Amino acid sequence: MLQQLFDRLREIYPRLVEIRRDLHMYPEISFEEVETPKKIARFLTELGLEVRTGVGGRGVVGILRGEKPGKTVALRADFDALPIQDEKEVPYRSRIPGKMHACGHDLHTAALLGVAAVLSEVKEQLAGTVVFIHQFAEELAPGGAKPMIEDGCLDGVDVIYGAHVWAGLPYGTVGFCEGYAMAAADAFEIEVTGRGGHGAQPHLTVDPLVTASQLVVNLQNIVSRRVDPLKSAVVTVGSFHSGEAFNVIPHSAHLKGTVRTFDEDVRSMVEEWIGQVVKGTCEQMGATAKYEYRRGYPALYNHVEETRRVKRLAEQLFGTGKVTNMEPVMGGEDFAYYLQKVPGTFFFVGGGNPELDAVYPHHHPKFDVDERAMLVIGQLFITAVLDYWADGKLKVEESLNRFKAQ
């Protein structure tokens, strides 16, 4: 079965490249996706799947019910692009000025459509249901995952898998990270208000610039003195604006920053501690402050059992030398919301290839990846689904070798 499905995936690969390149040429950025979901829905409908559009706003969900009863596995691909000018010299370069698929979501989409195409052909042999979640707006908080879940895309789902093509990994490799893999990415803003005046008469003012400077220093104590040293947290002030003239004490100062954490309790404590530091520092200096904390995506937690299972499948498919353990990254990803609801894992598929000039990082104007990563994603998704239905007892090597021997 596995070999037959993989052969079909290879046969339709040129079509997947076509789909990926079409999406690449006509990118649509987060919350502005119109044609992309239409193209996806059309493809899934032609396959005979049950298709829901407008899920949570702009999402598309395709449901493939096998003819035998079984569990429900969800597979997710995101489809939004970025507000970046494409600077690659390739025939499929973006035709839309200032917009580009610089994160590989076009490739995720085409790979998942390939999986839907291949599995729908053997519907009568499938012992379970597959839910294909095509998600809008991953790149921009509040993102598309949350509204899609609220709109029922995970209803009845037992497990979920997601993949991200990764430019930093060479093509042919797959990376896994157990437990916390990506950080919660939050933002904060503080406005310190004092009483402005003449630079020569500080005694008649409340200096917000000095207060805010003190505040930046005091905020450093949160990570160094209050967060458990065995837990991770980042508090970064990235913007500080106050005053215009050399001899004027300004009226206010503006700070902006970001907080990155993994543990939910650390996240909440940091939010609270920043508030305490703001209050304490300003009171001491006689200034007042407005503090706003905006939560981004939560941390992405890869369930241990599912991660190990899919990793073992990847080792059987591609060889142990092709599978690596990844360090957690402090970037955010709204796949985290799905994993808060159901078990599953999110893995990284190598897309780097110097021969194709696929050497630039994600969100770079020259970003590109080796398109064959679609085959890797497709094969691993298919195997993960069949193995889940087989309660983790799918005979991967046997299934492949038997066909190889013929």
Binding site for Zn ion (CB under 5 A): 103
Are 115 and 381 in contact, with CB atoms under 8 Å apart? yes
CB of 103 to Zn ion, least distance (A): 3
- Measured from the CB atom, the residue of 348 and 388 that comes closer to Zn ion is 348
Q: Which residue is closest to Zn ion by CB? A: 103
Closest-CA residue to 13 (of 23, 21, 1, 25) = 21
Torsion of CA 279, 283, 286, 288, to 10 degrees: 20
Contact status, residue 333 vs residue 137, Cβ threshold 8 Å: no
User: Which residue out of 80, 106, 158, 368 is catalytically annotated?
Assistant: 80
Nearer to Zn ion, 287 or 373 (CB): 373
Closer residue to Zn ion (CB): 103 or 112:
103
Residue 363 annotated in ligand binding: yes
The dihedral region occupied by 369, where left means phi > 0, alpha psi between -120 and 50, and beta the remainder, is: beta
> Which value, to the nearest 10 degrees, does the dihedral of the CA atoms of residues 55, 60, 61, 64 take?
150
Does 139 belong to an annotated binding site?
Answer: yes
Smallest distance from the beta carbon of 78 to Zn ion, in angstroms? 6
Q: Output 8 or 260, the one with its CB closest to Zn ion.
A: 260
One DSSP character per residue, 116-152 reads HHHHHTTGGG-EEEEEEEEE---SSTT-SHHHHHHTT
Tell me if 371 is assigned to a ligand binding site. Answer: no
Which of residues 64 and 102 has its CB atom nearest to Zn ion in the complex?
Answer: 102
283 annotated active-site: no
In the complex, the smallest distance separating the C-beta of residue 119 from Zn ion, rounded to whole angstroms, is: 24
Write down the catalytic residue from 28, 78, 138, 334.
138
18 catalytic per annotation: no
Q: Tell me the torsion sign for CA atoms 277, 233, 340, 145.
A: positive
Shortest distance (Å) from residue 154 CB to Zn ion = 20
Q: Is 103 annotated as a binding residue?
A: yes
Residue 268's H or E segment, with its range, is helix 264-285
CB 139 to Zn ion: min, Å:
5
Q: How far is CA 291 from CA 143, 188, 223, 282, in A?
A: 24, 7, 19, 11
CB 182 within 8 A of CB 329: yes
Contact (CB, 8 A) for 310 and 161: yes
**362 in a known ligand binding site:** no
Residue set of the binding site: 103, 105, 139, 164, 363
Active-site amino acid positions: 80, 138
| Binding-site residue ranges for Mn(2+) | 103, 105, 139, 164, 363
